[in-house]
Amino acid sequence: MNDQTLSTPDGRVIGYADYGPEAGTAVLWCHGGPGSRLEPAAVAAAAAAAGLRIIGIDRPGYGLSSPIPERTIADWVPDGLAVADALDIDQFVTVGCSTGGAYALALAALAPARVLGVVACCALTDMRWAEGRSTMSGPASIGIWDASDRDAALKIATETFGEDGSKMLSAGDAPAVELAPTDLALFADPSFLAGMAAAIPAMFAQGVQGYVDDRRADGPGWESFDVGAITCPVIVVHGGSDTICAVVQAHHTAEIVPNAELRVSPELGHFSVMSEVQPAVLDLLR
């Protein structure tokens, strides 16, 4: 893994991590929320063996990337393209996990000549769809969407996660939410917990700013980009037992995105479904 940064014309910094062989097919990885450029580390070795070069990119306010308060989903697309340009990558696949799904789709919608395909994994759908929005609950989603302003949202997120993310995992236990058995098995795996614990400092390197700005960007729905402009193939991967982002959201995404194929693994949950990302990427390339 090679951590790097680049500077933008407006003086911001974008952080990213380059995994895999330079000659491999590039995959721009849009992390979950909270998340960071380090998210694909767990799958990087297998991906490299399959000829994939994964590039994890910190969204603004996460890891090494400067925050952009009140950004939209589309506002991030130039950052993703800037990283690809810095690495001399012309075309690439995008992968978006959970919150990151919208950013992967936005890249395809706004830069169709450069995106070969999209994998949206355990991804939130367009929150303009009331039924999907109704499946989200708790202060970390609805609470932040309904907050009166960014400062109020920052307070909610800090109470939920802790300023440094210390409340995400308590004494090594799984998150305080009922998870699918396949997800619980992951949280019982010491190597999985060690990897997550190692990633938390990057997720919260700038406190909860990145997470709050993610939520304030996706709360209004996908109004900043048009999924109808997507021309590349899209695979929507979801766990049928996902208790964090209900599978109905995947069905809706597959309905509104052109050229989308839906793949639901009934027994998998929000975390365990990540095992289906690499097969989907390789299928897109075939």
Q: Is the pLDDT of residue 212 over 90?
A: yes
CA distances (Å), origin 202, targets 24, 122, 238: 26, 21, 26
Structural contact between residues 57 and 30, judged by C-beta atoms closer than 8 angstroms: yes
Is the per-residue pLDDT at 269 higher than 50? yes
Lowest-confidence segment of 72-81, 94-103, 150-159, 177-186 by average pLDDT:
177-186
* Statement: 2-285 belongs to CATH 3.20.20.70: no
- Judge residue 284's burial from the number of C-beta atoms within 10 Å of its C-beta, 0-12 exposed, 13-18 middle, 19 or more buried: buried
Would the pLDDT of 259 be above 50?
A: yes
Measure the CA–CA gap between 54 and 177, rounded to whole angstroms: 30
pLDDT per residue over 36-56, tens digit each?
999 999 899 999 999 999 999
Per-residue model confidence (pLDDT) at position 175: 47
Quote the mean pLDDT of the chain: 94
| Residue 198 vs residue 216, higher pLDDT | 216
Residue 120 and residue 234 in contact, taking contact as beta carbons nearer than 8 Å: yes
How far is residue 20's CA from residue 69's CA, in Å, rounded to a whole number?
A: 32
What per-residue confidence (pLDDT) applies to 2? 82
Per cent of the chain over pLDDT 70 is 97
Q: How does residue 229 score in pLDDT terms, banded at 50, 70 and 90? A: very high
Q: How many CB atoms lie within 10 A of CB 132?
A: 21
Q: What is the pLDDT of residue 41?
A: 93
- Residue 235, pLDDT > 60, answer yes
Across 4-18, 118-132, 186-200, 268-282, least confident range: 186-200
Distance (Å, whole) CA 175 – CA 60: 25
Is pLDDT of 58 > 90? Answer: yes
Residue 111, pLDDT > 60, answer: yes
The confidence score (pLDDT) of residue 132 equals 95
Q: How confident is the model at residue 172 (pLDDT cuts 50, 70, 90)?
A: very low
* φ/ψ bin of 108: left (φ > 0), alpha (ψ from -120 to 50), beta (otherwise): alpha
Q: How do strand 25-30 and strand 92-97 relate by DSSP bridges?
A: parallel
For residue 170, is pLDDT > 60? no
The pLDDT tens digits for 116-161 are 999 999 999 999 999 999 999 888 999 999 999 999 999 999 999 9
Domain ranges of the chain: 2-285
The sign of the dihedral angle between the CA atoms of 109, 111, 112, 116 is negative
Which two tokens mark 7? 């500077």
pLDDT band at 178 (very low <50, low <70, confident <90, very high): confident
